[in-house]
């Protein structure tokens, strides 16, 4: 018995519907990560968390360098994760546009879909892992779970710029 992979979609309308939903999710994600990419909020949120005692201090790396000690920035606060999230969202949008074009040309077969979507699930899974990673670099202020700005209310912030988005939610 031979196995022949399918070259046709059984329900192409469902595929188009899923692509529309994916577009509706990908564009806001791209906008959020695009705005955050030049470190617009990351260091401010890190410093606010340190001031409130929720996580390590962003100045710890500077102190470690001044004392000739090694320091590894926690993944949640790293520029790498910010850049990774931006690249992941751009890649997701590019692949979505490519999938739509290939589907119109009848070249986006289910086997290719499995490969593409498996890769995207892996990329987005690492993004979620990074956003939920721990910050244990300061033993006095360990962050063992999600970042404070995800688990706590925005009203606790002492920075008016960080409170701004809460005012837009309520108003």
- Please report, for the chain, the start and end positions of each structural domain, with discontinuous segments joined by +: 12-52+77-132+146-170
Cβ atoms of 9 and 65 within 8 Å: the answer is no
Cβ-contact 71, 65 below 8 angstroms = yes
Question: Could you give the C-alpha distances from 19 to 33, 126, 131, 146, in angstroms and in order?
Answer: 20, 22, 25, 30
Average pLDDT, the chain: 87
Examine the pLDDT at 170 and tell me if it is beyond 60: no
pLDDT of residue 93: 97
Q: Which two tokens stand for residue 103?
A: 């589907």
pLDDT band at 10 (very low <50, low <70, confident <90, very high): confident
pLDDT score, position 83: 94
Question: What secondary structure letter does DSSP report for 7?
Answer: -
Calculate mean pLDDT across residues 55-68. 91
| pLDDT the model gives residue 116 | 95
pLDDT digits (tens, 9 = 90+) for 64-119: 899 999 999 999 999 999 999 999 999 999 999 999 999 999 898 898 999 999 99
């Amino acid at each position: 018995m031979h196995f022949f992979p399918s070259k046709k979609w059984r329900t192409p309308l469902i595929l188009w519907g899923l692509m529309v939903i994916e577009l509706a999710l990908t564009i806001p994600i791209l906008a959020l990560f695009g705005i955050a990419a030049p470190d617009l909020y990351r260091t401010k949120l890190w410093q606010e968390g340190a001031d409130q005692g929720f996580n390590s201090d962003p100045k710890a790396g500077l102190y470690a360098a001044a004392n000739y000690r090694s320091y590894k920035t926690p993944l949640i606060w790293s520029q790498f994760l910010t850049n990774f999230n931006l690249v992941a969202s751009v890649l997701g949008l590019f692949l979505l546009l490519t999938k739509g074009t290939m589907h119109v040309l009848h070249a986006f077969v289910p086997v290719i879909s499995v490969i593409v979507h498996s890769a995207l699930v892996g990329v987005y899974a690492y993004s979620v892992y990074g956003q939920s990673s721990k910050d244990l670099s300061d033993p006095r202020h360990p962050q063992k779970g999600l970042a404070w700005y995800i688990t706590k209310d925005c009203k606790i912030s002492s920075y008016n710029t960080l409170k701004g988005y809460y005012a837009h939610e309520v108003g």
